[in-house]
Amino acid sequence: MRMPLSEEEQRILQEMEQKLREHDRDFVERVSHHSYRLQAARGTRWSVVAFLAGTALLLATFTSSIALGACGLLVMVVAALSFAHQLSPSRRPAEEAGQLPGRPLRGPLSSSIAGEWSQMRRRMRSRFGHRS
């Protein structure tokens, strides 16, 4: 169940977002979900289109030319791998992948993501104060 924010809470949230954008543009660009989602959606669409094209090539040519049928199969495999890569949790930001800040992340970038998260928390506490 979602509860809408009051006007005062919305104003405070907008001020905090504006201050973050003003003070740390690099961080805002690195964690922007919009650019990631757009890129992932495009990659996923192209993977589906390539898979369907490979399927059509395979079905149209496998009886007349084994080489072309094999090319269609290869296109299908590459497209399926690309699709799986687009959806893999290691490519998604930590929050979107279901990782909690206190849990260790898996993968080659885990230490840098964890370090980035702790730096962000420190910057937020120093700029906006720590409330208990």
Q: How confident is the model at residue 117 (pLDDT cuts 50, 70, 90)?
A: confident
Query: What pLDDT, in 10s, does the model give residues 60-106?
Result: 998 899 999 999 999 999 999 988 888 776 555 544 444 444 444 45
As a whole number of angstroms, the distance between CA 99 and CA 102 comes to 8
Residue 81: how many other CB atoms lie within 10 Å: 11
Choose among 35, 26, 48: nearest CA to 96.
Answer: 35
pTM of the model: 0.46
**What average pLDDT does the structure give for the chain?**
77
Q: How confident is the model at residue 50 (pLDDT cuts 50, 70, 90)?
A: very high
Supply the pLDDT for residue 104: 47
* Contacts with 110 (C-beta within 8 Å, 6 or more apart), sequence order: 104
Separation CA 113–CA 91 (nearest Å):
12
Separation CA 91–CA 85 (nearest Å): 8
Q: What is the pLDDT of residue 112?
A: 64
